[in-house]
Amino acid sequence: MEFCFTGWRDYFRRNQSTVKELNCKYDQLSETERRVICSSVQQFQIGESSEGLFLIAAAKRFLKDCADKSYLEALILFIQEEQRHAGELEIFMNRHNIPKLKKHWVDQVFRRLRRFASLEQSLTVLLTAEIIAAVYYDALKNVTGSVCLRSICGQILIDEEKHIEFQAETLINK
């Protein structure tokens, strides 16, 4: 089977231009809600911020003898999309005085699991994180009173659905 991901590369390129502007200027968040969501939002923000260096290295090793490099391009665009999520969450956090974490043990575990892994192992860990994120953002969207956070969660959920599909297709075609 030919390993060709031009469709995914093109999807991620198109998706960059369809992101909606955040409505955070007059956002309200009660002190109780801030306290309840603070630690989880911090953890997910740091999780979305990865540069993906080890994942990219694993992909390059896998693609060494492959003529089509569209997967690597799609993967880099995927990572940029994850970093956009981190940036949007950071805007929300700044607006509500939620400090950004430098590291968290959960994020460190996911990163260590991927560090020396093959592409397949890295994608399995990443897919697990994506599924957890989809459940989290759906729950967060449904319980928050924050218009900004609901907007962020809504966009992330749209993206995460495609991220899960992208990673699953990669594993199937690998």
42-87 confidence digits (pLDDT tens): 999 998 988 888 889 888 988 887 777 899 999 999 999 999 999 9
Distance, CA of 119 to CA of 131 (rounded, Å)? 18
Q: Would you say 166 and 8 are in contact if contact means Cβ atoms under 8 Å apart?
A: yes
pLDDT reading at 104 higher than 90: no
pLDDT digits (tens, 9 = 90+) for 76-94: 999 999 999 999 999 999 9
Segment 110-137 mean pLDDT? 84
Could you give the maximum distance between any two Cα atoms of the chain, in Å?
55
Distance of CA 1 to the CA centre of its chain: 28
- pTM for this prediction: 0.89
Residue with tokens 């469709």: 7
Assigned CATH for 30-173:
1.20.1260
Average pLDDT over residues 106-133: 81
- Give the Å distances, CA to CA, from 89 to 1, 43, 117: 39, 11, 28
Residue 95 burial class via C-beta count within 10 angstroms: exposed 0-12, middle 13-18, buried 19 and up: middle
